Every structure is written in C-alpha cells, then in structure tokens.
Amino acid sequence: MFRNYFKIAFRNLIRRKTYSLLNIAGLAIGIASCLLLFMVIRYELSYDKFQPNFNRIYHVVTEDKNSEGIDYTPGVPFPALDAFRTDFPQVKTGALFSLYGSQVTVLNNGKAVAEDKKFIEENGMCFCDPVFFEVFNFNWLAGNKEVLAQPNMVVLTQKMAEKYFGDWHTAIGQSVKLDNTITLKVAGILSNPPANTDFPLGLVASFITMKNNPSVYYYTTDWGSTTSSFQVFMLLPEKVSAASINAQLKKFSLKHYQKSDPSRYRLNYLHPIAENHFDTRFGNLGDHVTSKPTLITLSFIGVLIIIMACINFVNLSTALAIGRSKEVGVRKVLGSDRKQLIGQMMSETAFIVIVSALVAVLIAWLILPYLKHVVSLPEQLSLFSGINFLFLLIIITVVTILSGFYPSLILSGFQPVLALKSKLTTTTIGGISLRRGLVVLQFAMSQILVVATIVAVSQMNYIRTADLGFNKEAILVLKGNSDSASVARQKSFKEELLSIPGVKAVSFSTDVPSSENNWGTNFAYDHRPDEKFPLFLKFGDLDYVRTYGLQLVAGRGYFQSDTINEVLVNETLMNKMGVKNAQDMIGKEIRLGGQPWKQIVGVVKDFKTNSLRETVKPLLIAANSKFYSVTSIKLLTNNLSKAQKNIEKSWNKFYPEYAYSGSYMDESIAHFYQQEEQLAVLYKIFAGLALFISCLGLYGLVSFMAVQKTKEVGIRKVLGASVANIIYLFSKEFTILIAIAFFIAAPTAYYIMNNWLSNFAYRISIGVGVFALAIVLSILIAWITVGYKALKAAVANPVKSLRTE
Amino acid sequence: MIKLKDISKWYSNGSAKAHILRHIDLEIKEGEFASIMGPSGSGKSTLLHIMGMIDDPSEGEYSFEGESVFTLKEKQRSELYKKHIGFVFQAYHLIDELTVYENIETPLLYHKISSSERKAMVADILDRFQIVGKKDLFPEQLSGGQQQLVGIARAVITKPKLILADEPTGNLNSKQGEEIMDLFTRLNKEDGVTIVQVTHSEKNASYGSRIINLLDGKIA
C-alpha cells in the first residue's frame, strides 16, 4: 500500500515539476534554516554543561544599590573569599582572578630568550587556588591542584605549553615571566578545555603569588573596592538549596559591607553558572555573552521561516487539489475510504518533506563552514549527530502534519460524483479565503522581518557613523604597562615617535576616550559633601585633548604635570551639578576620594565615554603619569603602514621586554558592536529568505491561477481587454493581500524593533520611511513575481486558449 | 438484488425544487442485464449513482441483497459496496499517474488482498482481457477502446456481483463499442454478473435482457 502511495507521489513529483520544485525549494530552505539555527542555539545552550557539577555551581555576584540605581558586578572584594570560607564551611568556595592582555615572556635558564618569545595573552590568564579545581573539573595531564598552594607556580593548558615550549612534556620545571615582574615555574599541565566553555583557562598561576605581590595587581584587603576580575564560585553540597545559601549571604552582606561603607547597599547572591553564558549584566570570562532574547529571536525566526514554507505547501496543494479530483473520485468509487485517502495524501506529503529534508541537509552542510562569520562560534559544529537526526525527524513529522493535514482533508472530502464529473471548481471546494489568509500571514511575516532588517541595519549604520565626540580615525593605540620603569621611558619614546614621518600627535593615558573600562571613584564638588554617584576617571598627558580632537566648551586644557593638578570635566558632570553655563564651572574645585581639592580649568564637550548602549558618564580628565599605560598615536592617513612599521621598531627599541600590540581605535570601537552587527547580518539573511519563500508561494499560486483563468482571459481578450487589463486582473488581488498584510506587520514590527532599540542609549527613531520602504519593497517583489506569469497569460492567443475547452 | 422504492431526488433552487428523479420504484434481479435509456437530463446517471451508493436520493428506500442501504452506517455501506459493486464510466476514469497494471491492482489494495494474491489476480485478468502486453503503459498511451477495457478489467477484478456502467461505449467508435458489449454479455452469461448500464443506443440496449425507459425522472 505505502509503496503504491510513494510511487504515485514520486510520479506526481516528476509530472508537476514546477510545483514540486517550488515546494521542495521552500521546504528545503526552511528546514535547513531551522536545522542550522537549532545547532547554533543548542551549542549556545551547551556552555559548561560538561562540568560534572554544573547544576550545583554558583557564581557569587554583587548587587550594588546607590543613588544612581543598581549596579551589577560579577566580582567581590578580595577579603570576601576568606570570609566566605569561614562563614560557609559546608560549601566549597573557589576563586579566580583574571588578567587581560598580560604579557608572558618565556625564559630560558632564567634569561629572556629572543624577542619572538614574548606573548600577549588577551585572555586565559588567571590566578586560582587549589579549591577552584575542586569546584570545577579540569583534567590534569601532569601535576595536580596542590601545586597551586605554593607561591610562584603556574599551570598551563596543553595548548599553551605547546605554544611556549613546543612539547608539553618538556614544559614542567621551566619558567615564564609574567608582565615582566613575576617569574613563575611551570608545575602542571591541564588538558585543553572544550571550546564551549566560559572558563577558557590558558595559564593558571597560584593565587598566593598574587597575594604576595599586592602592588602589581592591586591586591587589597579593603572591603570597599570591588573588581570584576576577582570572581568567586561556590559548589553547593548535594542537598543544600541555593535559597538557603542566599538567605545566609544576605546576613553576610549586612555584616561585612554595611560596616565598611554604610552609604551603599551591597548584596551578594548566588547566580547559577547555567546563566553565566546569557546574563549580560555580569558577562563572563569567555569570548561572548549571548543574551536569551537573542536566542529567543533566533528560534522565533526559525519557526517563522518553517511556517512560511508550510504555508506554501498548503496553498499549492489545495490549489492543485482540483487537478487531482478525478483521481480521488476514482479511488473512492473503487472502494477507498476517507481514512485511506488521507493516509495516501499524508504519505505523499511525507515523501516531499523527506526529499526536502535531504536537500536541506545538503544545504546545511554547504553553509556550515561559513556559519562562524555570522554567529560567534569558537569551533565548527558537526552536522551528523544523533541529536540533529532526531531534530530532523521531529521537523519532518511536524512539517508533514502542518502542510499535509489540511490539503488531505480537502481532497479526501470530495464527493465522488462531483469529482468525477469535473464539477469541482475552486469555489466549490472552498478554502479560497483560507488561502488568502495564509498569503496575508506569510507576507505579514516577511514584512516584519524586512522592517526589522531595515531598522537593525540603519541602527548599525548610525552607530558606525555616529559622532562620538572625538576623532577616532587613524589613531593607533599601543597597550603597555604602567610600572615605573615603563613610565620613565615615556618621555624619550614620545620624542622618537614624533620624529617618525606621518605621526601627528602622541599622547600617554590610562585609557582611550571610548572603552569598556569603568574607573570610578567617589568625589565632592565645590566643597560640598560627597556626591551620591561616582565620577569616572581618565588620566592623560596634556596632548590627550589634542590627539583625540576633544573639544573644549569653556576654559583651557591643563598644563604639563605628572600628578593631578588642574582638571577637565565633561558636560554631563556639569549638568549633574546643576550648572547651566560652562563658564561657571571654571575655577570651581573638585575632590577625588580623600585627596586634596583640585581646580577645574576647562569643560570638554561630551564624548561617548563607553559603548553607545550606555549613556555618557560624568567624567574627569587630568594628568597622572604613574598610571599611563596606553600610547595613542595620531597618524596622517596617507602612509599608515610605513609609519606603523617605524612605530613598532621604535617600540621594540624602548620596550624590548614588552611585546608590541598596536590596534586602530576605530577597529576596537567596531568590536563593541560585534553582536549587534552579527544580528543585523542574520536579519538580512533571514528577511531575504522569508521574502524569497513568500515569492515562491506567490509564484506557484499565480501559475496555478494562470492555468485556471486561461478561458476567462481568452474570453476577455476576445471582448477587447488589453494586456494591461489582464495584468491588472492578476495583480489586483495580491496587491490587496499584501496591503492587508502590511497593516498586521507594521505595528508588530514597530513594537518588536522599538524594544530592540531600547538596548541602545543612542538610537534612531523608527520613521514612516522604514515602513514605506518595506511595503514598496514587498509589493515590488510580488509584482515582479506575478508579472511574468501574468504577462504570459495576457499575451497568449485567445483562439488557442479557448479551443482547449 | 436491488429494490428501489419511491426514490426521489431534487435540488433546491431558492424556493423552487428542481426534480431529477420522481417516485422511482424499481427492482433488479440477480443475473439480469438491464439497460436504462432516456433522453439527456432524464436522470439516468443519477439513478445509476444511487444504485451504486455514491449518491444519495432526497427520499425513498433502497434495499440491496435484502439490506436496507440508507439505514446502514457509512462504514458498513462502504463495505457492502466495496464487496459487491463495480463501476464502469463513459470517460473510463483511469488514474493517469498509474500504469495499466497498477490501475487494475488499485481496488485490490482497498480490499486488503495480499501482495502475492494480487499479482496472481491481476495476471489472470490481464490474460483474460488480452492486454498483457499493455500492462506497463500509462492510460494516455492507450486508445479509448483499450482504456475502457482496462476500466472494465479494473471493475471486475474484485469479482463483484453487480456492474454499473455509465454509457460505457459513449466515447468509443462502433467497432470498439461492439467488443465492449460482447464482453459485458460474456460476463453476464458466463460469470453470472448482474449488469445495469445507462445507454443512449438502442443497439447496445439490445444486448441486455431488459430495458428501463426514463423520462423526466420517471419510469415510462
């Protein structure tokens, strides 16, 4: 029986090539998109699940309520670690202090080797004590966690050991120097962690090393300062609930934090590491955070695409049903009951869906290597796995039911007498309004995606070209260290740099104008008590303003100094202080922490202190040379690469012990928005696909309509209708349907995209233009789709078309 | 075998009723070869469809082999019909997507007959109708007479007691028509199959044992 069904299905497929192609193309694209999205989402959800204690590990995070609102930070003060261990003896508490952009120098018998043996480790460098490895499970190839109880010890992953020493077996006992200050002995080797982890360890130095060198990494026993680099993780025993620990943490927070600073309300609580990969408030140590709304949006898009493909199928099959009425009539007369007919139609649908799924797998296989360009994937995913196969089976089943059920209900319901007499017409079998409804739904979905795409793309363009308030073009940023030996060399380094042709200006500073760094402090203004919000700091020499083209709205820049002497503030601070006229700020005094009062000499026009997702922060700029670690070099744009080469040479001359790492300011700013950029690309792809699938369906319907209307067109032409009249006849209905779809799509898209835009502090407003563009685009595309078939029908010779009757 | 009592059928057209059949009383005995004749629109085909249980009258009673058809449930009716009735159409109504062999095999699938038995039955009938050489052709590759031959083969393969034929020779030339009528006669005489045919042709009607004349939905 089934063989017979499949045989007919196959012959039908061959016979109606165009429709089969349209159906299979739509379904295959839909299934392939779903499959790829499924793989990406599953991968994102798999982060750190390989940890055997995944469900019992919690990150201790801090909620900091102040007058500005609530700040969330992933870190805790250093002394909290020992306090946790004392107050929570039943819990294993591991800690990790991470470093970014540290330099590792591979030593040869205690001496630095050739200059290529210096490495800048952007991430993966951290300090841990043995308990961390009781909380998290890592595989030791050599050594064990106890080595981290001793000072000046480091453990490397296999990959790092091979990078530094060639063969990890020879690494044990060798030494590396960290940031040119601390020498560490390699005491253990870890096997490489999987790629889907937010704890991408590379080098793990013993925590006691850091404690023993408090000045190097600012280790402090002060309860008042919190760094996001110091993070604490708790492994709860089997039967202890997070709620009970949270209750204790509340008491703990009151006891320790209120005492140190009663003006702030700080609270520690447990945050499951299952959330680690998704919570943008806390971030993670890996290379990206994927917000849950992004995952939901992607799943939603996947569902939309597959529904659209199913709609095509339903539309085409019900339209084609008339052509099959004879077959159904005959089968009924030959004794088939309705159930058997439904069975037959469903197996035909299943056949087409299975063929489409096979094509989809091929598409997915071809696309997979390019996937990493649009989503953050640290490794290539494998297509052929059991879970993907299962997902494909589920998709096949669901799609078969969604697309096959309604058409088979329609077909199997034919009255045999009517069916055999060919008395069935589009109107008698009904479903026209349903088909129209489906077309409307389909176009509504694609218009939503089109609007979303236009908005997302314009927002990204807006950000890319936004006036940050400073000049980011052709500025090379070199990251160094702010130890006294480095700072001492800065003056002559600057002189040499300025002598290089193409260098316009050079400035040393703690930070670039726009970055993800937040260095803040409490402060007082104009001899008033301390303000309730923090003031953010960027220190730079007197060329800072000139190098970045910052604009002064009042006063002047500060004079040459090595310590904070005169200061600049930004307009945001001025506004917060309630000052209307910038001139009124000049001469006022400001006090940072417990330091002496300093005079404000100028007000800078606001520039974006952080990413455009955040608002501009109140800021102070002043000289303070002992913290300068960043060198910013403004270049002439005509010969960048030559200048850059000379700069590198000069760097290596002045700082032979430091690896050179130069990057352009505009590139690092672009990196802020990587996630949004990727999302915008994804939107573009999916909106294109959605439009394409809707057009496939439309094309199918119009081809069908052209056949149906052959006679009508013939008669009309005999009666004197022009080609234009006929084309109008065809496009009228679809234009109306698309217009209706627009009224559904416009408000929905507006709502969704307004939400998305609210992630940005600086954003475009959604204008009428976006919607106009969306509807014009979809009507235009629909017309092009309809046009060909309509034109063909319109120019056909009426004598010929009438003779077929 | 068939007893129709007071069968009427009409379509409501607004307030007016358009009558197709009026108060038909008719009995067909087992082994009969009856021809229904009458002008276009006299209700011949409708009467045949009602006998074949693929159309329902507006009122009246129908008993088939002593079973009251209209009181049966859909499923039982379908069983009854599947077991005893074969249909032959003017336009042959073969399934275009299936070969001759598969077309003939199709009713057997709905009778849930095993694969090996199906093979034997189809081979047998192909042989009997002398169309073995055509078994892998599709309907469109056959002449009208051949298609109708296949249509009849398909109707008789389930060994029905009753064959209902709706102008079986209407689309055929006279020579092809004669062959088909000869075939019906043989089926009736040799296999004892009851045949009811609708026809316009006096000549075709003469093959049968009885003529029922319909005029304006009434038996004349």
DSSP per position, A727-791: HHHHHHHHHHHHHHHHHHHHHHHHHHHHHHHTT-SS-----HHHHHHHHHHHHHHHHHHHHHHHH
Q: How confident is the model at residue A96 (pLDDT cuts 50, 70, 90)?
A: very high
Look at residue A111 and tell me whether its pLDDT is greater than 70.
Answer: no
Q: How confident is the model at residue A793 (pLDDT cuts 50, 70, 90)?
A: confident
How is residue A499 written in tokens? 């002598």
Q: Is B166 helix (H, G, I), strand (E, B) or coil?
A: strand
The Cα–Cα gap between A87 and A611 comes to: 39
B140 lies within 8 A of chain A by CB: no
Give the list of residues 6+ apart from residue B126 with CB closer than 8 angstroms, or none.
Answer: B100, B101, B104, B132, B135, B153
How is residue A711 written in tokens? 């006679």
Q: Please report the pLDDT score of residue A69 as a whole number.
A: 72
Closest CA to A12 of A328, A410, A294, A305: A328
B17 CA: distance to closest CA in chain A (Å): 20
Q: How confident is the model at residue A432 (pLDDT cuts 50, 70, 90)?
A: low
Pair A296, A21: CB distance under 8 Å:
no
Give the list of residues 6+ apart from residue A414 with CB closer than 8 angstroms, or none.
Answer: A325, A328, A329, A332, A424, A429
Q: How confident is the model at residue A136 (pLDDT cuts 50, 70, 90)?
A: very high
B198 lies within 8 A of chain A by CB: no
Least confidently predicted of A108-122, A439-453, A537-551: A108-122
Q: How confident is the model at residue A424 (pLDDT cuts 50, 70, 90)?
A: low
Q: Please report the pLDDT score of residue A131 as a whole number.
A: 93
Reading phi first (left if > 0) and then psi (alpha if -120 to 50, else beta), residue A564 is in: beta
A42 versus A762: the higher-pLDDT residue is A42
Q: Is the dihedral of CA B140, B145, B150, B151 positive or negative?
A: positive
Look at residue A66 and tell me whether its pLDDT is greater than 80.
Answer: no
Give the list of residues 6+ apart from residue A474 with CB closer than 8 angstroms, or none.
Answer: A634, A635, A636, A637, A640, A664
Contact list, A15 vs chain B (CB under 8 Å) = 97
Pair A155, A203: CB distance under 8 Å:
yes
Mean pLDDT score, A28-43: 92
Q: How confident is the model at residue B30 (pLDDT cuts 50, 70, 90)?
A: very high
Q: Please report the pLDDT score of residue A522 as a whole number.
A: 82
Please give the model's pTM, rounded to 2 decimal places: 0.78
B111:A4 CB<8 A? no
The Cα–Cα gap between A168 and A205 comes to: 17
Picking from B94, B109, B154, the nearest residue to A1 by CB comes out as B109
**Cβ neighbour number for residue B219 with a 10 Å cutoff:** 18
Q: Please report the pLDDT score of residue A340 as a whole number.
A: 84
Contact list, B158 vs chain A (CB under 8 Å) = 335
Strand partners, A567: A600, A622
Q: Please report the pLDDT score of residue A781 as a whole number.
A: 83
Q: Please report the pLDDT score of residue A602 as a whole number.
A: 92
The Cα–Cα gap between A559 and A623 comes to: 9
Smallest CA–CA distance from A332 into chain B, residue = B54
In the numeric block, the tokens 């609708």 are attached to B198
Smallest CA–CA distance from B94 into chain A, residue = A330
B94:A330 CB<8 A? yes
In the numeric block, the tokens 């009811």 are attached to B196
The Cα–Cα gap between B107 and B82 comes to: 9
Picking from B94, B97, B107, the nearest residue to A8 by CB comes out as B97
**Phi, psi of A625, rounded to the nearest 5 degrees:** -65, -25
Q: Terminus-to-terminus CA distance in chain B, angstroms?
A: 22
Q: What residues of chain B, 51 to 90, have a C-beta less than 8 Å from chain A?
A: 52, 54-55, 75, 78, 81-82, 87, 89
Q: Please report the pLDDT score of residue A805 as a whole number.
A: 37
B156 CA: distance to closest CA in chain A (Å): 11
Least confidently predicted of A115-124, A454-463, B42-51: A115-124
B9 CA: distance to closest CA in chain A (Å): 14
A420:B89 CB<8 A? yes
Look at residue A788 and tell me whether its pLDDT is greater than 60.
Answer: yes
Least confidently predicted of A44-48, A64-68, A326-330: A64-68
Q: How confident is the model at residue B16 (pLDDT cuts 50, 70, 90)?
A: confident
Q: How confident is the model at residue A804 (pLDDT cuts 50, 70, 90)?
A: very low
Question: Of all helices (H) and strands (E), which one includes residue A644?
Answer: helix A640-654
Q: What is the ipTM of this complex?
A: 0.74
Q: Which long-range contacts (CB under 8 A, 24 or more apart) does B112-121 make?
A: B121/B157
Best of B88, B102, B110 to mutate (most A CBs within 10 Å, chain A)? B110
A335:B89 CB<8 A? no
A668 versus B185: the higher-pLDDT residue is B185
Mean pLDDT score, A236-251: 91
Burial (CB count <10 Å: 0-12, 13-18, 19+), residue A184 = buried
Mean pLDDT score, A531-541: 87
A334:B106 CB<8 A? yes
Look at residue A85 and tell me whether its pLDDT is greater than 90.
Answer: yes
B109 CA: distance to closest CA in chain A (Å): 6
- A257 DSSP assignment: I
Mean pLDDT score, A138-165: 92
**Phi, psi of A577, rounded to the nearest 5 degrees:** -85, 0
- A725 DSSP assignment: H
Mean pLDDT score, A742-767: 87
How large a percentage of chain A has pLDDT more than 70? Answer: 95
Closest CA to A737 of A706, A700, A778, A707: A778
Mean pLDDT of chain B: 89
Pairing of strands B162-166, B194-198: parallel
The Cα–Cα gap between A518 and B153 comes to: 89
**Phi, psi of A268, rounded to the nearest 5 degrees:** -95, 140
Contact list, A334 vs chain B (CB under 8 Å) = 87, 106-107, 110, 154
B32 CA: distance to closest CA in chain A (Å): 22
Look at residue B68 and tell me whether its pLDDT is greater than 80.
Answer: yes
B96 lies within 8 A of chain A by CB: yes
A4:B55 CB<8 A? no
Cβ-Cβ pairs closer than 8 A, A with B, add up to: 56
Pair A206, A147: CB distance under 8 Å:
yes
Q: How confident is the model at residue B34 (pLDDT cuts 50, 70, 90)?
A: very high
How is residue B32 written in tokens? 């009969």
pLDDT in tens, A622-661: 998 888 888 999 988 777 888 888 999 999 888 888 888 8
Best of A333, A344, A412 to mutate (most B CBs within 10 Å, chain B)? A333
Least confidently predicted of A443-457, A739-753, B123-137: A443-457
Q: Please report the pLDDT score of residue B81 as a whole number.
A: 82
Reading phi first (left if > 0) and then psi (alpha if -120 to 50, else beta), residue B205 is in: alpha
pLDDT in tens, A544-573: 988 888 888 888 888 888 888 899 999 999
pLDDT in tens, B89-143: 888 888 887 899 988 988 888 888 888 999 999 999 999 888 999 999 998 899 9
| C-alpha distances out from residue A296 to A31, A140, A282, A310, B31, Å | 18, 37, 20, 21, 72
| C-alpha distances out from residue A363 to A42, A368, A386, A397, A646, Å | 19, 9, 18, 20, 48
A506 versus A800: the higher-pLDDT residue is A506
pLDDT in tens, A572-620: 999 988 888 888 889 899 988 778 899 999 999 998 888 777 788 899 9
- A66 DSSP assignment: E
Q: How confident is the model at residue A1 (pLDDT cuts 50, 70, 90)?
A: low
Q: What residues of chain A, 379 to 438, have a C-beta less than 8 Å from chain B?
A: 416-417, 420
Smallest CA–CA distance from A13 into chain B, residue = B97
pLDDT in tens, A297-348: 888 888 988 998 898 888 888 877 777 788 888 888 888 888 888 888 888 8
pLDDT in tens, A170-225: 889 888 988 888 899 999 999 998 888 999 999 999 999 999 988 888 888 888 77
How is residue A603 written in tokens? 């007000």
Contact list, B91 vs chain A (CB under 8 Å) = 420
Q: Terminus-to-terminus CA distance in chain A, angstroms?
A: 36
B109:A15 CB<8 A? no
Mean pLDDT score, A722-744: 84
Tell me chain B's radius of gyration from C-alpha atoms. Answer: 18
Mean pLDDT score, A50-69: 86
Reading phi first (left if > 0) and then psi (alpha if -120 to 50, else beta), residue B47 is in: alpha
B182 CA: distance to closest CA in chain A (Å): 23
Q: Please report the pLDDT score of residue A95 as a whole number.
A: 92
The Cα–Cα gap between A490 and A417 comes to: 97
Contact list, A333 vs chain B (CB under 8 Å) = 52, 54, 87, 93
**Phi, psi of A588, rounded to the nearest 5 degrees:** -70, 160
Give the list of residues 6+ apart from residue A228 with CB closer than 8 angstroms, or none.
Answer: A73, A74, A75, A283
Contact list, B106 vs chain A (CB under 8 Å) = 4, 331, 334
In the numeric block, the tokens 């408000």 are attached to A747
The Cα–Cα gap between A154 and A158 comes to: 13
How is residue B104 written in tokens? 């003939």
Best of B98, B104, B159 to mutate (most A CBs within 10 Å, chain A)? B98
A161 versus A10: the higher-pLDDT residue is A161
Best of A14, A334, A340, A414 to mutate (most B CBs within 10 Å, chain B)? A334
How large a percentage of chain A has pLDDT more than 90? Answer: 26
Give the list of residues 6+ apart from residue B159 with CB closer than 8 angstroms, or none.
Answer: none
B87:A333 CB<8 A? yes
Pair A576, A618: CB distance under 8 Å:
yes
Mean pLDDT of chain A: 85
